[in-house]
Amino acid sequence: MELARYSNFLPQNNPHVHKYSRGRVAVIGGSGKYPGAVMLASKAVARAGAGYVTAFVPICIRTIFQSSLPEIVSVPIPNNTESFIGKNAFEFISLEKQHCVLYGPGVGSGKTQTKLLKKLVNADTPLVVDADMIEALASLEDINGAKSVYGRTTPLIITPHHGELKKWLRDNREDDYNKLDPSLIAFRVQGKLKAAEANNVVVVAKGEKTQVITSTSVLNPAGGTDTLATAGTGDVLAGTIAGLIAQSRPTSVSETANVCAAAVEAHALAGEIASKQFGRRGAMANNVCDCIGLAIDQLHGKEE
């Protein structure tokens, strides 16, 4: 792994903490088709150090979720999410108690999911948006206008891979974003953020060279092994970001971007550690997830 640049933005170790002060995170996601995504994301939140994680998952996967992750509180929601999205939705999530919300891993797409996204976007809790909900953000722009969607006072973090990024940008050109120069991708993202006056939005554009982009800055965190080029590692990164944001509680978009960059570096190092245990081709997303804490310790200089 190349030299880490942002490890000093990881939350500092503090022996005088308890599970709530270490950060509370709500993860909303999962479906009968994609049960693993929300499990990986929730586990990554905890591996990144958040003290109390609550996962809101469809009834159809709740049993397998809870049996696999007994340390994480799971709250069942209707499989179609319709009643969950009603007026009592936030009573279940207790947004005022959360230091960050992660929405999207494995949740699929549809009108009900987009309705909940709108409620979360309009709330004051820091929000990480992943997977299908990234494209849903673009659909909310059509309904309410981009400035309404992105004009937040608290952080909104969007974590697209290149395909999702192209959809979020509404880019109809035939460009293959996997082959574009990263500086051009950053230019296009910044153009959208500036037009929307998205002053508290951070885009973590995942790829061979992951970039952390705001309307005024572009960060280039250290990358890792090709071990990360496997299904599920994006869910692990989203969870790592949410866990670190909940602990760090950044007060500016610059701080938020730097914490996200630190999360990318921790994720990359976790991939390196996992590859040594399971092989560069053999390591899976769950192995990478299990190495997040070890990676953070190493970046803190706490390796035994």
What is the arithmetic mean of pLDDT over 3-31? 89
**pLDDT tens sequence across 68-117:** 999 999 998 876 554 454 445 445 677 888 999 999 999 998 888 898 89
Sign for the CA dihedral angle at 73, 37, 132, 141 comes to positive
Token pair for residue 27? 């993860």
pLDDT higher than 50, residue 137: yes
List the beta bridge partners of residue 295. Answer: none
pLDDT higher than 70, residue 303: no
Lowest mean pLDDT among 140-154, 184-198, 268-282: 140-154
What is the arithmetic mean of pLDDT over 137-161? 92
Q: 211-213 and 218-219 as β-strands: parallel, antiparallel, unpaired?
A: antiparallel
Q: Could you tell me the pLDDT band of residue 14, with boundaries at 50, 70 and 90?
A: confident
Task: Confirm if 66 and 39 have CB atoms less than 8 A apart.
Answer: no
